[in-house]
Structure 1
Amino acid sequence: MGTYLYAITAAGHPLRLSGISGVGEPAAQLRTVRTKDLCAVVSDAPPQLRAKRRDVAAHQDVQDRLLADGAALPMRFGLVGTDDAQVATVLEQDRDSYLRRLEEVDGCREYHLKVARDEDDLLREIMRESAEVRRLNDRTRENPGAYDDKVALGELISQEVEARHERARSDIVARLAGTAVRTADVEPTKRHFLSVSFLVEREKATAFSEAVHEEAGQRGDTYDFSLHGPLPPYSFV
């Protein structure tokens, strides 16, 4: 059957889990696996677990309850161990690492920021600022059969797009990092050139949100900022 893992806490966490249940149908009963210094919140793993709305919500409810009372390391949905004994072994083997991470995330939440830029606006900027792009563009217009020039133009524009996205990404993260404990890169989407998670202390959450709003305002309507949070600190486990 296996052991489904929800989160890891320090041994002294209150673990107020009454009234909530785990994943599966019927809902699994929550229990704990303990070592001297750590505790894992687990349940029996249901067969053929899928990311159904009810199960995802149950997984999230456990995280929210634990984080309301102290530090917790949330596990990704669907993480299953062989049995309770294996979970206990991992807790003991990685004890120091888990304790350091618990100390780091204590009192913090994760905020995930995505940023996209209007492609037409970016291309206009490249055309305006790059003499070589303008030269190649003019040559391909005058000579539609100039294959080598078309290839060179495409490669140059791609390089310019990547370089400008990287500069914008570095600038945005640098401006916001002062209100965060840590940052973690998240795989970008095709649309977003920036996808970063920030670990933010609760008392600095308002300042962080205001900093994101200010940055978005300074960059204007051609940039699309999307901020999600507060979230359990999945990216920092």
Structure 2
Amino acid sequence: MNVPDTVATPLGPLYVYGIAPAGVRAPRAPGVGGAPVRLLAESGLCAVVSRAPEQIRARRRDLLAHQTVLGELLAQGTVLPMRFAVVSPDQDTLLSQLRTDTHRLTAQLDTVRDCVEMNVKGAPVPDCFTDLVRRDEKLRLLAQRTRRKPDYEANVRLGEALAKAVRREARGAARAVLAGLAPLAVRVVEGPVDDERVLSASFLLRAPDEERFRQALAAQARDLGDRLSLSVTGPLPCYSFVQAPLVAAGR
């Protein structure tokens, strides 16, 4: 027997995968916890939901289920993706949120229409010491003094100076990567960075621009690879460019 796409009866707490325009088909893949995925339609929008399990943990099978459901939605068109573990307390609350936020959600759908997200991360290259010492006079003199009169404190000073220089070079390279890639994107959101990750940025791209973006990133990697190790993840649902009306629930 075929199960209807839309919710006919209240389901209690609902796990929410995303918001899509009305008319989208419910994904056929099972959702988190193996639950069937359904649609809640209101004001020209659809919330894509399933019954929320008693406990939600970031287990591989549930993370994969979340991604698979979103993948089916993206194959049909535009979607505002929710991050893992977003739960609405009940059907009425979610429908009310769709009614209240119709204008804002519709505007967000327009913003990410035909777009994908690409996430780029960059880390310092730790073995670029030789080139740094050759180019930096202060480091070169410090290395020479350490070789002439090696001791524990001198080695520590040289090590700290080299580490600081590596991070400085990597941060400069990260700024160059952002400057080179930003013109290709509709929007850019920068994430948190530290000494180990000096670049973390999400780029909202028009889908046809993905290949051009990858080529530009590869060129940056060739030019700056002695200072910055780059990685890219995507295409992804546009998580970083959605201001969701819902928040993750600790259930």
Bin the TM-score by the shorter chain.
0.7 to 0.9
Q: Against the structure 1 CA distance between its residues 222 and 176, is the aligned structure 2 distance closer, same or farther, given a 3 Å change threshold?
A: same
Shift of 1:117: 4.3
Unaligned runs of 5+ in 1: none
Q: Deviations over 1:39-75 (max 9, x none)?
A: 2111111122223333222211221121122211111
Quote the residue 1:236 is aligned against: 241
Quote the residue 2:223 is aligned against: 218
Quote the residue 2:105 is aligned against: 98
Specify the SS of the correspondent of 1:33. Answer: strand
- Contact 2:27/2:72, CA 8 A, preserved across alignment: no
The AA in structure 2 aligned to 1:82 is P
Shift of 1:171: 0.7
Q: RMSD of the TM alignment (CA)?
A: 2.8
Quote the residue 1:15 is aligned against: 24
- Contact 1:140/1:146, CA 8 A, preserved across alignment: no
- State how 1:1-237 maps to structure 2 within 5 Å: 2-10=13-21, 12=22, 14-17=23-26, 19-24=28-33, 27-121=34-128, 123-144=129-150, 147=153, 153=158, 156-188=161-193, 192-220=197-225, 223-237=228-242
Identity among equivalent positions (%) equals 37
The farther-off stretch of 41-50 and 187-196 is 187-196
Q: C-alpha distance in 2, partners of 1:146/1:21?
A: 60
Q: Against the structure 1 CA distance between its residues 124 and 100, is the aligned structure 2 distance closer, same or farther, given a 3 Å change threshold?
A: farther
Shift of 1:88: 3.0
Specify the SS of the correspondent of 2:32. Answer: coil
- Contact 2:43/2:98, CA 8 A, preserved across alignment: no
Q: C-alpha distance in 2, partners of 1:225/1:100?
A: 33
Specify the SS of the correspondent of 1:120. Answer: coil
Specify the SS of the correspondent of 1:68. Answer: helix
Q: C-alpha distance in 1, partners of 2:163/2:99?
A: 49
- Contact 2:26/2:39, CA 8 A, preserved across alignment: no
Shift of 1:104: 1.3
| Matched length | 231
